[in-house]
Amino acid sequence: MKRISIVLTLVIGSIGFLFFTPVASFSGFSGFSSGSSAVNKSLVIISGPTHREMSGKFLDDSLIEDLSFGGKLAELLKPSTKKRTWLIDPSLIEEIIDMSDGYTVLPKIEGAGEEIATQFLVDLKYAIGDDPVYALPYGSPKISTRKKISDVEFSQVQSVSSVRLARALDRAVTAGAPPNWSETPKPLSSMNISEFRTLRKQLALLSQISNDLVISEIAIRLNTLLNPELDKKTSQSLVISFTSAVDGLAEKVRVLPGRYTLTSREEKLPVTIVNDFNAPAQVVLILKANNSRILSIADRALYLQPNSRTQVLVPVKAIASGKVELLAQLETLRGNKHQGISTLAVTIAVIGPIVGWVMAIAGTILIGAAGTRIFRRLRKARATASLGDA
């Protein structure tokens, strides 16, 4: 399945969106619906809950009905002699574009709406003409909730949404709400809000490590979880999909476990750190021994190249022989822990100076004793041979 390629560098506050110039606010927004506003009869809203999981596969094929002749989205495109204002969710348009060039419905079913989606896009552009177009926040999240979580981030979501909609429709788009627009509040699942906050926090930590665009993409797509139109089943599927995607990102930067043997008091351990992001990563490597056989190890700040395996030589000092586990933890430059702990198993086989002298002396004595026994045997053999000759 082809995918829409939109090269954006996004940083939503701590999550990774770049700060754009503030735009007009969706004041009074709480939810979304398709149709005309009671305040402005010429306003057309193209919006709906997402039908895609994070992998790009569709959860179902129900958009076909909405896009077909007589469907609720297709009906909004009926010709009008009056000038209209369009308020459109870029997430929905990107999904329809995705359908138009072939798509997959879970688990592995070929989507049947390619031609219908293609025709809808043609009809949409024709219906819009030169009418003004405004961009809804990506995924049509409940605005009061999204702004409460972070008003600064919401402003950036609006800017990013207008850019993505402009590219999808290949025309000028205005960020923010149309004049005199408000909407009736709609309830939002507390579970969705809780999951959004949890995943957002994890993405914020990841953005401290790398600015890979995949982090920004998941961050913008995560807003779909706050759409009040989502049903319970779709919400659960999205939570699973987003959680899996975020967990996969966390695994991209990690310390590889290993086994080591120290044969001297001071050595350098080759510790390998992997960065599978397509962008550089910055972390701090922290190693702590589970006993006192190894002295404390200094923390090391590391710059990791994209798609790399970096071997770091870590100086260690052993003070006694035996087994030690070094617990390897990565942290962000701000001191936040990243991922879990990797274990480095270390066996210390160091011979101390006193033990070395004792072993050397013992070895000398053993060699001397062995030499004496050999000498005595040879002398005895010669004596026996002399008697025989006599």
Q: Could you tell me if 290 and 329 lie in one domain?
A: yes
pLDDT at position 182 is 75
Of 228, 250, 272, which residue is a domain's last? 250
- Residue 372 inside a domain? The answer is no
Give the count of domains, the chain: 2
- Domain of residue 310 covers 253-348
- Residue 385 inside a domain? The answer is no
pLDDT at position 81 is 87
pLDDT at position 379 is 65
Q: Could you tell me if 22 and 131 lie in one domain?
A: yes
- Residue 344 inside a domain? The answer is yes
- Residue 367 inside a domain? The answer is no
Q: Could you tell me if 146 and 195 lie in one domain?
A: yes
Q: Could you tell me if 76 and 20 lie in one domain?
A: yes
Q: Could you tell me if 236 and 329 lie in one domain?
A: no
> Tokens 């990841």 label which residue?
206
- Residue 6 inside a domain? The answer is no
Q: Could you tell me if 244 and 116 lie in one domain?
A: yes
- Residue 58 inside a domain? The answer is yes
- Residue 357 inside a domain? The answer is no
Q: Could you tell me if 151 and 63 lie in one domain?
A: yes
Q: Could you tell me if 269 and 344 lie in one domain?
A: yes
Backbone phi, psi, residue 304, to 5°:
-105, 130
pLDDT at position 369 is 67
pLDDT at position 111 is 97
C-alpha R_g of the chain? 34
Per-residue pLDDT tens, the chain, 390 aa: give them: 544 443 333 333 333 443 333 444 554 443 444 433 333 568 999 999 999 999 999 999 999 999 999 999 999 999 888 999 999 999 999 999 999 999 999 999 999 999 999 999 999 999 999 999 999 999 999 999 999 999 999 999 999 999 999 999 999 999 888 887 876 689 999 999 999 999 999 999 999 999 999 999 999 999 999 999 999 999 999 999 999 999 999 999 999 999 999 999 999 999 999 999 999 999 999 999 999 999 999 999 999 999 999 999 999 999 989 999 999 999 999 999 998 899 999 999 975 555 444 445 656 667 766 667 776 666 666 666 665 555
- Residue 7 inside a domain? The answer is no
Q: Could you tell me if 208 and 106 lie in one domain?
A: yes
- Domain with residue 265: its CATH number is 2.60.40.1710
Q: Could you tell me if 241 and 309 lie in one domain?
A: no
Structure tokens at 104: 């997959």
Report CA-CA distances (Å) from 105 to 3, 66, 204, 286: 15, 16, 30, 44
b/e 261-287 (16+ beta carbons within 10 angstroms → b): ebeeeebebebebbbbbebebbbbbbb
Of 235, 250, 265, which residue is a domain's last? 250
Pairing of strands 281-289, 258-262: unpaired
Closest CA to 244 of 202, 205, 188: 202
pLDDT at position 40 is 54
Question: Tell me, what amino acid is at 148?
Answer: K
pLDDT at position 362 is 57
My answer on whether omega of the bond before 137 falls inside 30° of 0, hence cis, is no
Q: Could you tell me if 159 and 288 lie in one domain?
A: no
Of 250, 282, 311, which residue is a domain's last? 250
Q: Could you tell me if 153 and 221 lie in one domain?
A: yes
pLDDT at position 104 is 97
Q: State whether residue 384 is helix, strand or coil.
A: helix
Report the distance separating Cα 329 and Cα 385, nearest Å: 75
